[in-house]
Chains A and B, each alone.
Chain A
Amino acid sequence: MPLIELKKICKTYSETKVPVEALRDVDLQIDKGEFSAIVGPSGSGKTTALNIIGGLDDPTSGQIIVDGHDISTLKKDEMINFRLHHIGFVFQAYNLIPVFTARENVEFIMLLQKISKEEREKRAIELLTAVGLADRIDSRPSELSGGQQQRVAVARALASHPSFVLADEPTANLDSKSAISLLELMEVLNHEYGMTFVFSTHDSRVIKRAHRVITLVDGMIASDVANNAAHED
């Protein structure tokens, strides 16, 4: 069974005078362990697709099944709870709570899940060590570089033991070195721990490393190809 399944997903924005069809009859399946990128030009619907997979937006029609749950029928608070337990997020920017340290940011998700203090602290240190920030545990976001902040965001995304991680343009605000370093980290997590990553991106560095590239154009899947070169790497 696929981890994520979109069935005839349509999304139309009616707020403007002329309704905008962001997604049109999109059928998509993503399996566990994938390292896939949804790509396309601006306005292609890739962010909308990611938002719908993450339950941040509701489809106008269609069905979306995530980890065996039909999330298109969930109420707002049920969806928030579902995201907490099943989905990890890495955003382009403003991922972290500025007043919390790196450790507190990672612990925050586990706090929301009502995990015990002892376990939270242990796991937070483990995750920050895994992302290479063992020496920056007590630093605040303002004391970290952009790349380091994104690493903390990855650690936080993994803290809740999610089924998969959605990353919306995670390298957009990073310099080349930081972007490559971040992507290598995510690859390691995918390869060694089997964590599923789904990106929304137009960064060629991400596309190059993705094992599968799903291209959206005008709200429809134009192509869906395996990136064999990335697999071999």
Chain B
Amino acid sequence: MILLSLIRLGDEAYGVPISKELLKTTGREVALGSVYAALDRLEKKGFVASTLGDPTPARGGRAKRYFRVTKTGMREAQTTRTALMNLWRGLPLAQGEHP
């Protein structure tokens, strides 16, 4: 979900927009601490990379940390998508039927 949020946000992916995107798409509020923990794990795996922006007064003089998906991360997102589609294929729910 985090990877997809980063892809959707493009160059504006830092903590606040990422958590808003997650809230908008999943309907659940995710704590920023948890978002950063997940991003840290993804960064260690090489799926995302981060850069520091400039400090701003609105943030109490603190810089934004921008995240972007790496090529490895893109491949991983595609692999996960394919795996999920394969898992869904053939299930009644996938065709709009209810068990």
Bound pair: A and B? no
